[in-house]
Amino acid sequence: MTCKEWDDPLYHNTCRLFKNVGEAMNLDPNVLNRLLQPERAIIVSVPVRMDDGRVETFHGYRVQHNNTRGPFKGGLRYAMDVNLGEVTALSMLMSIKCALMGLPLGGGKGGVRVDPTKLSRGEKQRLTRRFTVEIVNDIGPDIDVPAPDMGTNEEVMSWIMDTYSQMKGHATPSVVTGKPVSVGGSLGRKQATGRGVAHAAMEAACHLGIEIDENKTAVIQGFGNVGVYAARKLAESGVKVIAASDVYGAVFNSQGLDVVAMEKRLGEHGTIKGFEGGEPIDGQEMLTLECDILIPAAISGVIDEGMAGKLKCRILAEGANGPVTSAGNDVLCQRQDEVFVLPDIYANAGGVTVSYFEWVQGLQNFFWSAEQVNQQLYTVMSKIFREVVSVHEEEKVDMRTAAMRLAFRRLSEAMLRRGLFP
């Protein structure tokens, strides 16, 4: 591996964000310096026998950033652009996200550089199981607990859990979260991130004095697992979803899209492109539509300096990790009176929050109802929203900085309390 492995825009932006916020709030420089470096970065080769008999080798990563408050926690993604810098940045953000939400967990992240759409089910399973074997001593219920991310799902988590359990000689459901309910998963986990984003947006609307009704509109970039459930909850609350997109295209209907029908088409065709209930629209143009709520729930870096100046939404709820670039964030800070930002470390934290619930349920072998899971999720999201807004108003900083300051304070206190060993 070369130094280029670290040369990722998300990593540079995350380090810059940490430094800017930390220095401005006079964070202990020793703490800040420690937070700019992961505790451990694991890089492995993953040989896989393909269906045609070839043995192909992939690069796998697991970065463990900070476990001061508890075991490392974070997703595992399968994508062609996975690299050490990206995974490190995401592990850093997970540490801050868990601290912000008050969870007794630290930040981790992993991935394999592969195009999962080109793998058969058998190839994906063999890849997952071999990757698990390569990192088996670095994960565990009390060490590091992976979860689904881009390109992975609950089936992948069940393969990891089974492989780990076989290697250890006993069933260990809590080694991962985001599993199927039949093997120790939690009700409501799959829907949690999207529901959390929508709930955060409605909390913001209430704070801004915006009444949620049929006259309110939403635009969703990324009609995947996060976008689908965010759209569903918003629609159930009366909000009109007027535009949505996936990697193949975007659709628009000023009178509101039928979310249920659109979800059905996605299941049948793998895309919402061509959905008859709306007309095609350019994906970039879609982001600039006038709306009450905009949810970027696709990939990082989609809202740059130019796009940030064109947004016509009242609430920007970041469903994806890092959808706004550093330059874009500077523009949004200048537009605080026009665009109310719900930063990713808060807005999409519903997933890790319910992952925490799943982890606890698995350790106790006592499982909750879907109603209990959802109520606990909404209680936590509402509580943290009020705390972030309090910092935002009292310290006169933007919402992203407010969330970061709150998280840094919690993490810093834990680090200083524990001290440095030896």
Phi, psi of 164, rounded to the nearest 5 degrees? -60, -45
Which uninterrupted H or E stretch holds 217?
A: strand 217-221
What are the DSSP E strand ranges found in 50-138?
55-66, 72-79, 106-113
CA distance 11 to 23: 18
Q: List Cα–Cα distances, 306 to 93, 287, 303, 347, 380, in angstroms.
A: 24, 12, 8, 23, 34
Question: Of the listed 19, 73, 97, 109, which one is catalytic?
Answer: 109
CA distance 276 to 251: 9
CA distance 67 to 271: 39
Q: Do 147 and 177 meet the contact criterion of CB atoms below 8 Å apart? A: yes
Specify whether 109 is catalytic: yes
Q: How many CB atoms lie within 10 A of CB 56?
A: 14
Instruction: List alpha helices for 297-349, DSSP H.
Output: 305-308, 326-334, 344-347
Catalytic residues: 109
